[in-house]
A and B are shown apart, each in its own frame.
Chain A
């Protein structure tokens, strides 16, 4: 079968913040650049980021990038690479000001500067007191950012392929990346994008969990493609969770609900937080509340048919107070839980929010992997930025407002590195003879398989396995079982069947292809989490508790290292954390406490 080949200097997969930021660098350098996206760019999930973008502009009070760096290293629980963190924090002002020049409508102070607000974990003078570092555009920061960058790309002649799904990474025998195979949804046509540089900016894969704040689009397509091409995934055990999402839906319930007097209850209506935090009770920190909820569920005191959620009760509060102080909560209850929260408690569960791990990259945005004894050997022609990549700046946990900063800084740096490599003479390499065979075989298998697994049921089995066995609070025995279970789900995911065989707008096929990506991420997460026998950042294990020898359960002697999960044989290797910043003294190890 003859497959059309489209030739570009660069192909970027994903048109959220990181993809658009990369594309600006390439197009403005005069390079022929294609951006592929499953949806129109301003429908990317970056839209959902409301909080702001961190930069030590110092517009409202004194601030310094070294303070931001300290906060980020501490937030990462010292798993973040300090060279990458220095790079990001130092670059923050530049990328924010650039964005302002692109037309981003930042909130302003009376004297016209970018207004900055405080945000959790961002402090002045190395952890002393909160600092105003977050730059926002009302509560639509991500949305405004995408619009500004999309316009800039239109001006720079970036070529958009909207409603196209990238399917597989093309690598030759020497390991060079030469582009991707992709499918135009409108026609079902498979096309080869042959490029000198390939940049992944495909976002996170939060849909591996049953309860996730992520939009349905976050199916880890870039991670799936990288894994199928033999590229390892880094630190996949680290996922940020929020304590209260609506069970079964994932929609966030603000922590303000507990602040206003909301009470968490188990299946026997017990106010269980009294046992876990006798003083703070329901107002204990996120970590403590999440762990208590997970423990209640694990020990069989959850609610519902599957005993897999707890209740957030505000029925004792004055309805007028609820409507006034917690606007929207009543609608959320009705829309997403089918519950009138004035009369009945809301079903809630710790909910996945952000993926810290991803495709391993250097801070220049170049993808790296172990080769011939070098743990960080560059994969020629391949770059990544944003949530799909692991630079690693978030390490074991991410600070709020650092995700928008990550996609700006590393989107730009991936673009810059690609421009540099192309200008240095990187040419189009010859496509392998079997270039699209694997993609075509996957599509054909989906179209022809009879008696295979149902996509919806397989996805549900994966999501439940991940939620139950590798959720916010992890148990050694559950993780062990989880590995077996997810490998079983993987077998089903390799045998998916779809009923719709049509070419045009076959959404069943698209969802099956997304499922094949999700399972790669789920497997990497479960196996990496089972293997890491300490608690660090967002990876918290019941069998690695807080002790005098290991505060917070963190064991730097054995576990101050990055996980690299190899999808080829499900094996794990580790590589050292880079504790050496570029120009300043390292942030020395200490116990993370706030």
Chain B
């Protein structure tokens, strides 16, 4: 991912509406979790990061489930991070 694209993504992860997501996503990015993803997985992460805060948080806490085979493994990773 290009530097500018990554930094844009980072900003959208470290400034969320909910503190819980700020912490979880910042930890994932700054802990190198994102760097370990394949290009396709990184794209899936970008899509998740674009979600509304409560929808994403419900996924990460298991209150909601996701069927999409591209996104589900990233959700699983974030739940463990």
Q: Which residues of A contact B (CB under 8 A)?
A: 38-39, 42-48, 140, 143, 163, 185-186, 212-217, 249-251, 328, 331, 335-336, 502, 504-507, 510
Contacts and interface: CB of A to CB of B under 8 A. Distances in A.
B7 A507 contact: yes
A251 B19 CA distance: 7
Given A336-B23, A505-B4, A216 B15 contact: yes
Interface string B39-62: 000000000000011100000011
Given A186-B8, A502-B3, A505-B8, A47 B53 contact: yes
A216 B22 contact: yes
Given A502-B3, A505-B8, A507-B10, A250 B19 contact: yes
Contacts of B68: none
B67 interface: no
Interface string B1-44: 00110011011101111111011101000000000000000000
Nearest to B78: A335
- Interface SS of A by simple majority: loop
A222 to B, nearest CB: 16
A48 B16 CA distance: 10
B11 A507 contact: yes
Given A43-B53, A505-B8, A38 B61 contact: no
Residue of A44, A48, A251, A506 contacting most chain B CB atoms (<10 Å): A48
Contact of A42 (B3, B15, B17, B20): B17
Contact of B7 (A43, A44, A505): A505
Given A42-B52, A186-B8, A47 B19 contact: no
A474 B23 CA distance: 28
Given A143-B54, A336-B23, A506 B18 contact: no
Nearest to B23: A249
Given A47-B17, A502-B3, A215 B11 contact: no
B69 to A, nearest CB: 24
A506 B22 CA distance: 18
A386 to B, nearest CB: 15
Given A42-B17, A42-B52, A43-B53, A335 B24 contact: yes
Given A140-B54, A331-B61, A507-B7, A214 B19 contact: yes
Contacts of A510: 11
Contacts of B53: 43, 47, 143
What 7 A-B pairs are tightest by C-beta distance, nearest first? A505-B7, A47-B17, A216-B22, A215-B19, A217-B15, A504-B4, A43-B17
A548 B11 CA distance: 53
Given A42-B52, A43-B16, A215 B22 contact: yes
B6 to A, nearest CB: 8
Contacts of B54: 47, 140, 143
Given A215-B17, A215-B22, A185 B11 contact: yes
A39 B49 CA distance: 13
A331 B3 CA distance: 33
Contacts of B26: 216
A47 B18 contact: yes
Given A216-B19, A216-B22, A331-B62, A505 B14 contact: no
Given A44-B17, A215-B16, A251-B20, A505 B61 contact: no
A43 B26 CA distance: 16
A177 to B, nearest CB: 26
Given A43-B53, A331-B62, A505 B11 contact: yes
Contacts of B12: 39
A506 B17 contact: no
A506 B23 contact: no
Given A143-B54, A251-B23, A43 B62 contact: no
A143 B20 CA distance: 15
A260 B79 CA distance: 27
Given A215-B16, A505-B8, A505-B11, 12 more contacts: A39-B16, A43-B17, A45-B17, A213-B19, A215-B19, A215-B22, A216-B16, A216-B19, A217-B15, A328-B61, A504-B4, A505-B3
Contacts of B62: 331
A341 B8 CA distance: 36
B61 to A, nearest CB: 5
Nearest to A187: B4
B40 to A, nearest CB: 23
10 contacts: A44-B17, A47-B18, A48-B17, A140-B54, A143-B17, A214-B19, A215-B15, A216-B15, A251-B20, A335-B23
Contacts of A42: 17, 52
Nearest to A213: B19
A216 B11 CA distance: 11
A165 to B, nearest CB: 10
Contacts of B20: 251, 335-336
A323 to B, nearest CB: 12
